[in-house]
Amino acid sequence: MTNLYALTPSELGSLVAELGERPFRARQLWKWMYEKRVDDFAAMTDLPKRLIDELGQCASLGSLQSVARQNSADGTEKRLYQLADGQLVESVLMPYDDQRKTACLSTQAGCAMACVFCATGQMGFARNLSAEEIFEQAMLFARELASQGERLSNIVLMGMGEPFHNYEATMHAIRQFMNRLGIGARHITVSTVGLAPQIRRFADEGLQVNLAVSLHKSDDIQRSALMPVNRRWPIDELISACRYYTAATNRRITIEWAAIAGENDTPDEAHKLGRLLAGLLCHVNIIPLNPTDRYRGAPAEHESIDKFRNILKHYEVASTVRLRRGIDIDAGCGQLKTSLIKLDQISG
């Protein structure tokens, strides 16, 4: 079976030629796939019946199999997909009041970064996703929304995995979001644990895609305890890569801060962070910690977050507090995992 989403326009042309059809059929097929976004060859009504039958025999529209879906009381939707080799990944759709529809996608099955507070980090690493597997998660939401007369407007690569640990496939998928789904670069965000060399490489791509950096702590010893990757790329190197990025792109970086009570929400922490970020083109996105099975920290309280933000203001560091979404279905930041329990539920 050939996955048609994996093909370039010219490869699709070759396939259609092999099936004995003229080149314009490939263009029609492309339109059905990417503009009308149908999920079935039979719906491609201007293609000859013979071609539809042949495609049904030798080709597929994607390779992800949806094995579970959950809806949150706040409108957030989560999907669990099985990949061709049996690996599982999750992706999330978040509708906002202003009509935005944001998909949060995975770039790896599991994650090798081992951040202690993150459910995916707690699972360990299985494998990189291919560009098609990343792209298809977006396509599936785009398709579903199109059937309701709506459109996918934003994409964040904040699901399972570390996008910059799977750099090539991630960049390939990003270009497909833009070219094949018509999502503007400014509506796409890549989030990284802080792989400094890839931040520099990303800066040189010449794209308007947003960058988010997960910081969570501003001194090396404590950050290394929460995020082992910090031993490899300590804060100095990370911030210097961030400066390189802002100088090269003139784009503002989002610094992510999962606020953990007593751990990184104190006035002292706010001063340290303010000093670290003062003068960097950035803004801090604070999200109270979401619960995960294997980390005992608690989310920071409103009052401490307010104080924290006021202190950042002294350093002219802007901040926002992110809405927590989908917590009732474990669809919040850092909550994506594909546990054995879930597998039992599927097979049972």
Quick one: 13 or 299, whose CB is closer to ligand SAH?
299
Of 54, 77, 90, 269, the catalytic one is: 90
3-state secondary structure of 37: coil
**Distance, CA of 313 to CA of 337 (rounded, Å):** 36
Quick one: 21 or 269, whose CB is closer to ligand SAH?
269
Min CB(294)–ligand SAH separation in Å: 10
CB 307 within 8 A of CB 270: yes
Quick one: 274 or 334, whose CB is closer to ligand SAH?
334
CB-based burial, 208-230: b 16+ in 10 Å, e otherwise: ebbbbbbbbbbeeebbbebbbbb
Burial bucket for residue 168 (CB in 10 Å: 0-12, 13-18, 19+):
exposed
Min CB(261)–ligand SAH separation in Å: 12
Query: Contact residues for ligand SAH (CB under 6 A)?
Result: 113, 115, 117-118, 158, 162, 191-193, 214, 256, 258, 287, 289-290, 292, 333-334
**Distance, CA of 133 to CA of 188 (rounded, Å):** 17
Residue (of 236, 309, 221) closest to 276 by Cα position: 236
- For residue 342 the two structure tokens come to 């879930």
Quick one: 29 or 157, whose CB is closer to ligand SAH?
157
Enter the DSSP assignment of 263: T
Of 104, 111, 242, 333, the catalytic one is: 333
CB 239 within 8 A of CB 198: no
Quick one: 61 or 300, whose CB is closer to ligand SAH?
300
Annotated active-site residue 301? The verdict is no
Instruction: Write the CB contacts of 171 (distance below 8 Å, at least 6 apart in sequence).
Output: 205
Quick one: 239 or 333, whose CB is closer to ligand SAH?
333
Quick one: 51 or 190, whose CB is closer to ligand SAH?
190
CB-based burial, 273-285: b 16+ in 10 Å, e otherwise: bbebbeebebebb
Annotated active-site residue 90? The verdict is yes
Min CB(46)–ligand SAH separation in Å: 41
CB 109 within 8 A of CB 103: no
First vs last Cα of the chain: how many Å apart?
28
Min CB(188)–ligand SAH separation in Å: 14
Min CB(26)–ligand SAH separation in Å: 36
Instruction: Write the CB contacts of 347 (distance below 8 Å, at least 6 apart in sequence).
Output: none
Min CB(214)–ligand SAH separation in Å: 3
Backbone phi, psi, residue 102, to 5°: -110, 125
Min CB(271)–ligand SAH separation in Å: 22
**Distance, CA of 348 to CA of 342 (rounded, Å):** 10
Q: Which residue is nearest to ligand SAH (CB)?
A: 334
Backbone phi, psi, residue 164, to 5°: -80, -5
- For residue 324 the two structure tokens come to 């927590």
* Residues that are catalytic: 90, 333
